[in-house]
Amino acid sequence: MINPQEKLSDAMAMVSVHARPVFLAMVDPESDHLQMLYVTTPQSALAVVDAASARKTSGDFFKEVMEQGSQEFRVAQWEYTAVALAVPSCEEMQKTPRANGRYRLPSRSQDVSRTSMQRSRVLECV
């Protein structure tokens, strides 16, 4: 889990330690929703892009990738370009035509009514 104020270069230094693709998670400070990115290892097959600004934060990076869906990027300590892919949230999955309601999240009122029904059944059995 990374902090939105953390420098992107610092976060990617931690990613480099793993030497394999990783999932990065961050809680969006505005919406309080969990966001995830899939980040590949730097790839020599990709065209080398300019390194991200040393002042760029992880929060800024997440925002860009979530809006675009994916982004090729590089930090100064990497020789090659990597790719970050946005992992859709359950809410985003709901919006796709293929979901057809299969991924509906229960509303709070449904949760409460189910819990109440379960409690009443337990009380009836006692």
Asked if residue 74 and residue 106 are part of one domain, the reply reads: no
Q: Which helix (H) or strand (E) covers residue 115, if one does?
A: helix 108-125
Rounded to 5°, angle at Cα 102 from 85 and 27: 40
- Identify which of 108, 121, 100, 51 has the alpha carbon closest to the alpha carbon of residue 80: 51
pLDDT tens column, 56-114: 999 999 999 999 999 999 999 999 999 999 998 776 555 655 544 554 555 655 445 55
Residue with tokens 């990497």: 78
| 1 belongs to a structural domain | no
Helices and strands (H and E) in the chain: how many = 4, 4
| 3 belongs to a structural domain | no
Global model pTM greater than 0.75: no
| 33 belongs to a structural domain | yes
| 39 belongs to a structural domain | yes
| 2 belongs to a structural domain | no
Q: Which residue range forms the structural domain that includes residue 111?
A: 96-126
Number of structural domains the chain divides into: 2
| 108 belongs to a structural domain | yes
Asked if residue 14 and residue 43 are part of one domain, the reply reads: yes
Residue with tokens 């065209």: 47
Asked if residue 107 and residue 69 are part of one domain, the reply reads: no
| 77 belongs to a structural domain | yes
pLDDT tens column, 85-94: 999 877 655 5
Phi, psi dihedral angles at 34 (to 5 degrees): -75, 130
| 59 belongs to a structural domain | yes
